[in-house]
Structure 1
Amino acid sequence: GEPGTQLTLRTFHAGGVATDEDITQGLPRVEEVFEARTPKGKATISEITGKVSKIEDNNGKWKITVMNDVEAREHNTSYAARLAVEVGSEVNAGDKLTEGIISPKELLAVTDPITTQEYILKEIQKVYKSQGVDIADKHVEVIASRMINKMRITDAGDTDLVAGLTVSIREFANKNKPVILEGKVPAKGYPIILGITKSSLETESFLSAASFQETTRVLTDAAIKGKVDELTGLKENVILGKLIPAGTGAKQYSDLDIILDKEYMNSDPSEMLEEEFIDNEDIKEEAQNKEETTEE
């Protein structure tokens, strides 16, 4: 849209400016974040919350040790990297130990989906604001939530899931709920982050995926596997010309009939407003009388 157009123009205009900030500004950085790519000049981040106990030379590399009351973790990084901490520095899991750009995949591995989504939001807004473009947080939040809505199964437990399978967080919870209630072993897994392109192609609806990219491959794959599209999303219903499952198109409203009040529809709007005003005045007067009675 317009914000992206303005960002593109500013990116080209800033091409000859020699500052550190210009290296990562503009649409290339936005694309890098939204596609969850490993950034150039990646920072080393702390795997645990604790205190930096040692920084030492380890065969031409920095070895940074972070320790807490439970464990100690060693982090090896390039000797050319600029350190962002010193001995005695307190760090949280996901904090930078060296200067650079944090990888969203590594951040998710040591923190949680909420922290990673907040980082994505901050990075995108930083790029746009540096170019004088304002966008609402909610737009980025929607995209970030779609990027981190999958789980990779490590242990199927007593569910019918398969280890190594990638499923949505909702399906993971739905499969585990009855198993937990029965006192059996639930499935285990960890959240993963997908770039917006891959995330769009990984959707459960093959019609939605086919409308985005690689249409032939997606439809061929769906045909070979005998997939069934339940039409639970927005895009697949729009493609087929059906009502989207939201608002009056939601299932709970599917059996409702809309009956028009002809007397109401044919009445004078000014009279309706006057009646509403009188009713409001009566309500106010009644409330005032109650207050006076209470005070007495």
Structure 2
Amino acid sequence: RSYLETRLEGRVLLDDIELSDGRTMAAGTMVDPDDLIALRDDPSVERVRMRSVLTCDAPQGICAACYGRSLATGNNIQLGEAVGVIAAQSIGEPGTQLTMRTFHTGGVSSGTGDIAGGLPRVVELFEARSPKGKATLARVSGVVRVGEDEGRGRTVTVVSDDGTEDAYLIPGPSRLEVVDGQEVAAGDAIVEGPRDPKELLDIKGVRETQMYLVDQVQRVYRDQGVSIHDKHIELIVRQMTRRVAVQEPGDSVFLPGERVDSRVYAETNRELLQAGKVPAEGRPELMGITKASLATDSWLSAASFQETTRVLTEAAIESRSDSLVGLKENIIIGKLIPAGTGMDRYRAFETVAPDYEPMQFWTSEEDTDGEDLASWLATQGGDAYAGGGDGAAAGESQAESQMADVVELPREDSA
């Protein structure tokens, strides 16, 4: 699969697109292979805006339009599909293949980078760790001035438009990504190396950090010939960037240092502003997948993952309740998971069977008229006698065969 296929195919257009042949692709169109070819080959199309799970505003989960087509069926995704589980499997299964390839090649490094370096890089990205040998990022936009090496390294200065200078001491062995007089934007790398996603978050914000993480994970897999659709990685990155650390609570109910869901944070501030009150101030936070799993709103889900004693103790001290909206917490208490046919929308209906008649059962306790089982079966339209097949085939009459197989049931006098 090509780069465009893993990014555009199966997604929904956000804006109308005018093609050079006069056709218009309307917003809301699901991009199929023919549409992808038309977009790719049209010289007038330089930028396409698509709906993405990274920007979905659904109050719970994600909406079907932002997810797009199910890659398993080729149809629109069904409501209730556990897309998070699908995403984790879609990323983890190729990772297993990469591991096996390492063993087959004996650890020999290839031109695209050894697998042993690829998988740790994926873990490093999903756990939001600071990479080794990370690049120095420009904190402001401006023009680069490269100083001379004075023995302890070179000084690189970025002069902004207002004349402010921001200096960086670069060690001697490091290779520069910039040259003297070059214009750089905030967040651009000054030195070669992987960027620290948390530093990038502070400088360029959530959206740029999300796109960087998706691109870097894709780069590891593409280097090994593995194709994964962007939407699977975006789902994981969405969970990593969904928290906001409250710094100033204002008139909200939040506490300083509390981590809250970004959607709840935005809605609370919107209500405070409409009421003329002071909104809360916070900073977006990037959390690794392990830490994000422990920071979930469900204490049952967190306790089933790691640090069970600590999670249960804190939940008891804080008198927390669990709304049971996730999968793991419902499995723990023995309920149907709220996905697939376990969703309320699929279970909130009444079964109507106008021709249904309840089945009759015979018991000796209900036998008040001295009726035996054989007679009762006859009244229900069944055969009063059992057997008769083999005997009739051997030349006996049907009546003789049936009479020969009649079994007298034991009865109690009190029945």
TM-score (norm 1): 0.78
**What letter corresponds to residue 118 of structure 1 in structure 2?**
M
Contact preservation (8 Å) 1:234, 1:244: yes
Residue by residue over 1:161-185, the C-alpha shift from the partner in whole angstroms, topping out at 9 and shown as x without a partner, is 2222222212212321221112222
1:9-24 maps to which residues of 2 (within 5 A)?
9-12=100-103, 13=105, 15-17=107-109, 21-22=113-114
CA distance, structure 1, for counterparts of residue 116 and residue 99 of structure 2: 13
CA distance, structure 1, for counterparts of residue 102 and residue 125 of structure 2: 16
Task: Report the equivalent of 1:32.
Answer: 124
SS in 2 for 1:21: coil
Contact preservation (8 Å) 2:246, 2:281: yes
CA distance, structure 1, for counterparts of residue 254 and residue 228 of structure 2: 40
CA distance, structure 1, for counterparts of residue 151 and residue 256 of structure 2: 38
Name the stretch that deviates more: 17-26 or 85-94: 17-26
Q: 1:96 to 1:14 in 2, by over 3 A?
A: farther
Q: 1:58 to 1:181 in 2, by over 3 A?
A: farther
Q: 1:245 to 1:174 in 2, by over 3 A?
A: farther
CA distance, structure 2, for counterparts of residue 14 and residue 120 of structure 1: 29
CA distance, structure 2, for counterparts of residue 225 and residue 45 of structure 1: 41
Task: Report the equivalent of 2:133.
Answer: 41
Which stretches in structure 1 are left out of the alignment for 5+ residues? 264-296
SS in 1 for 2:268: helix
Match of 1:118 among 186, 190, 211: 211
Task: Report the equivalent of 1:165.
Answer: 258
**What letter corresponds to residue 116 of structure 1 in structure 2?**
T
SS in 1 for 2:117: coil
1:249 deviation in Å? 5.5
Residue by residue over 1:239-293, the C-alpha shift from the partner in whole angstroms, topping out at 9 and shown as x without a partner, is 3333444566556x49943455879xxxxxxxxxxxxxxxxxxxxxxxxxxxxxx
Task: Report the equivalent of 2:290.
Answer: 197
Task: Report the equivalent of 2:187.
Answer: 94
1:128-277 maps to which residues of 2 (within 5 A)?
128-245=221-338, 253=345, 256-260=348-352
Contact preservation (8 Å) 1:48, 1:92: yes
1:102 deviation in Å? 0.6
Contact preservation (8 Å) 2:112, 2:224: no
Q: How many residues align?
A: 262
Task: Report the equivalent of 1:2.
Answer: 93
**What letter corresponds to residue 110 of structure 1 in structure 2?**
I
Q: 1:58 to 1:247 in 2, by over 3 A?
A: farther
Asked which structure has the greater RCO (Cα within 8 Å, sep 6+), the reply is 1
1:76 deviation in Å? 3.0
CA distance, structure 1, for counterparts of residue 122 and residue 250 of structure 2: 39
1:19 deviation in Å? 6.0
Identity %: 48
Which stretches in structure 2 are left out of the alignment for 5+ residues? 1-91, 356-415
1:21 deviation in Å? 3.0
1:160 deviation in Å? 2.1
Contact preservation (8 Å) 1:56, 1:63: yes
Task: Report the equivalent of 1:82.
Answer: 175
1:115 deviation in Å? 1.0
1:14 deviation in Å? 5.9
CA distance, structure 2, for counterparts of residue 94 and residue 138 of structure 1: 25
Task: Report the equivalent of 1:294.
Answer: none
TM-score (norm 2): 0.57
Q: 1:16 to 1:166 in 2, by over 3 A?
A: same
1:157 deviation in Å? 1.5
Contact preservation (8 Å) 2:245, 2:257: yes
CA distance, structure 2, for counterparts of residue 133 and residue 120 of structure 1: 17
1:8 deviation in Å? 1.0
1:126 deviation in Å? 0.9
Contact preservation (8 Å) 2:243, 2:286: yes
Contact preservation (8 Å) 1:56, 1:64: no
**What letter corresponds to residue 93 of structure 2 in structure 1?**
E
CA distance, structure 2, for counterparts of residue 44 and residue 67 of structure 1: 16
SS in 2 for 1:51: strand
Structure with bigger gyration radius: 2
CA distance, structure 2, for counterparts of residue 44 and residue 36 of structure 1: 17
CA distance, structure 2, for counterparts of residue 99 and residue 220 of structure 1: 45
Q: 1:248 to 1:176 in 2, by over 3 A?
A: farther
1:232 deviation in Å? 2.5
Where is the helix percentage greater, Structure 1 or Structure 2?
1
Contact preservation (8 Å) 1:11, 1:26: no
Task: Report the equivalent of 1:277.
Answer: none
CA distance, structure 2, for counterparts of residue 62 and residue 23 of structure 1: 34
